[in-house]
Amino acid sequence: MTRQYFGTDGIRGTVGKAPITPDFVLKLAHAVGHVLRRTEARPTVLIGKDTRISGYMLESALESGFNSAGVDVILLGPLPTPGVAYLTRAQRASLGVVISASHNPYADNGIKFFSAKGSKLDDEWELLVEQALEEPANWVESISLGRSKRLDDAAGRYIEFCKSTFANDLTLKGLKIVVDAANGAAYQIAPKVFHELGAEVLSIGCSPDGFNINKDVGATHPEALVKAVLESKADFGIALDGDADRLQFVDKAGRLFNGDEILYLMVDERLGNAQKVKGVVGTLMTNMAVELALKDRGVNMVRAKVGDRYVLEELERKGWILGGEGSGHLLALDKHTTGDGIISALQVLQACVRKQTTPAEILKDVKLFPQILLNLPLKPDMDWQKNVEFKRRNAEITEQLKGQGRLLIRPSGTEPLLRIMVEAKEGIEVKPLAEYLAKAFDI
């Protein structure tokens, strides 16, 4: 059975269009509630959200759906996705629910779930929910209805948790940091975390109005952060996305560091603190330069499919703790069960403070390989895997790049596109190689 509603990160779409409608979301919560009650008599669910205007409507629908199935609800209000994951575990709740479409514009929204352990749920659980959605509604009697209440100090508890991941013997005093919360879930929380650790904090993207989440600010628009850092002569800049599980980092010179580089910085921090790092997990898109730099330091890197859930699955399989994507989703499983932009930023700052240096200095010998990504439209009758000329050119380029770079070909999971990625050391032109391969379909 394939999943009809769940994607790689919950259920997501445009508000007002199926499945992001109040009637479906109520039905979804009702179905999830009955799945929970198969193993627990009186489940408790936490619900957090980002700052989208539609969050109020979907929160009400979820609350009603859970209560109607005999599930108690604790409302957290606006809270980063990793904050919901943390509190689900800390409160010993049965499930955590996040209303967010992450880095998407305000017109979108979504629902994602966390287990009682604060980790993302597997495909098998999602299939159970989809099967329950096909069953008739089973409204419980009034005496068994769930109750709802609000956790008023949810933000404060999460702030303290984030601060606890920063070394007790270090401080951010003397540093000026620009924090960009993308007008999203961390708009109050992120500035407080860095301020309470001693930094002078300047905030941008911290004035949500329900419609401006991710709009020209945040991790998907880091140019706003770069500008603010340079204009204020700040030491660092930190940009999160709408639900604060993604990080972009900027230094005082306005240099932007992507997730691949941040992953290396997190490894360096642990190695510099005499901690052993058995290995790390990247993705198919992780820059080869980072892989080679880690190898030089005795750290193995393996590649998972694109998507933080697949990085997490591979980390758990290997028993490792560090992994991430170039987009800024970073995992440090000794700090948190899921990706957390604030905690990832604290790990980078900890590395810089401990060494009294800058990210650029730590990364001076890590020169990212130039990389290009072409999206080739696939016609309905086009079978790219059987194209003989495409295979020949693929083999030719692969041989040419041996030890000098990589060629990656993968179909999009959401669009009729074939993604062709070529990366290679300086001196090898990657764009002509990608175009040469793509033109195999023109013959």
As a whole number, mean pLDDT of residues 260-271 equals: 95
CB atoms within 10 A of CB 340: 32
The pLDDT score that the predictor gives to residue 1 is 60
Angle at the Cα of 336 from the Cα atoms of 198 and 176, rounded to 5 degrees: 20
Q: Which pLDDT band holds residue 389 (cuts at 50, 70, 90)?
A: very high
Q: Which pLDDT band holds residue 304 (cuts at 50, 70, 90)?
A: very high
| pLDDT of 267 higher than 90 | yes
The pLDDT score that the predictor gives to residue 378 is 85
Q: Which pLDDT band holds residue 9 (cuts at 50, 70, 90)?
A: confident
User: Considering the chain, what percentage of its residues have pLDDT values greater than 70?
Assistant: 99
Burial profile 381-411: b = 16 or more Cβ within 10 angstroms, e = fewer: eeebeeeeebeebbeebeeebeeebbbebee
Query: Rounded to whole angstroms, how far apart are CA atoms 32 and 29?
Result: 5
Domain 157-254 has CATH 3.30.390.30: no
| pLDDT of 81 higher than 80 | yes
The pLDDT score that the predictor gives to residue 383 is 85
Domain 11-152 has CATH 3.40.120.10: yes
Structural class in CATH, domain 257-362: alpha beta
State the pairing for strand pair 236-240/176-180. Answer: parallel
| pLDDT of 177 higher than 90 | yes
Query: Rounded to whole angstroms, how far apart are CA atoms 53 and 213?
Result: 10
CB neighbours of 343 closer than 8 A, spacing ≥ 6? 82, 162, 165, 332, 335, 336
Distances (CA, A) of 418 to 8, 19, 36, 306: 18, 27, 39, 14
Write down the mean pLDDT value for the chain: 95
Catalytic residue among 54, 68, 94, 102: 102
User: Considering the chain, what percentage of its residues have pLDDT values greater than 90?
Assistant: 89
Q: Which pLDDT band holds residue 320 (cuts at 50, 70, 90)?
A: very high
User: Distance from CA of residue 289 to its chain's centroid?
Assistant: 22
Residues of the chain with CATH 3.40.120.10: 11-152, 157-254, 257-362
Is residue 239 classed exposed, middle or buried when 0-12, 13-18 and 19+ CB atoms within 10 A define those classes? buried
Tokens of 272: 């510099």
Burial profile 94-111: b = 16 or more Cβ within 10 angstroms, e = fewer: bbbbbbbbbbbebbbbbb
The pLDDT score that the predictor gives to residue 412 is 78
User: Distance from CA of residue 380 to its chain's centroid?
Assistant: 32
Tokens of 119: 């980790």
As a whole number, mean pLDDT of residues 4-27 equals: 95
Q: 71: which strand partners? A: none
| pLDDT of 149 higher than 90 | yes
Task: State residue 280 phi and psi, 5-degree precision.
Answer: -130, 160
Residue type, 427: G
What angle, rounded to 10 degrees, do the helices at 388-400 and 430-438 form? Answer: 160
Sheet arrangement for strand 236-240: 200-204, 176-180, 236-240, 247-251, 256-257
Task: State residue 150 phi and psi, 5-degree precision.
Answer: -115, 140
The pTM score is 0.92
> Is the peptide bond preceding residue 19 cis, with omega within 30 degrees of 0?
yes
| pLDDT of 427 higher than 90 | no
Q: What CATH number was assigned to the domain covering residues 371-442?
A: 3.30.310.50
pLDDT for 179-190, tens place per residue? 999 999 999 999
Q: Is 102 a catalytic residue?
A: yes
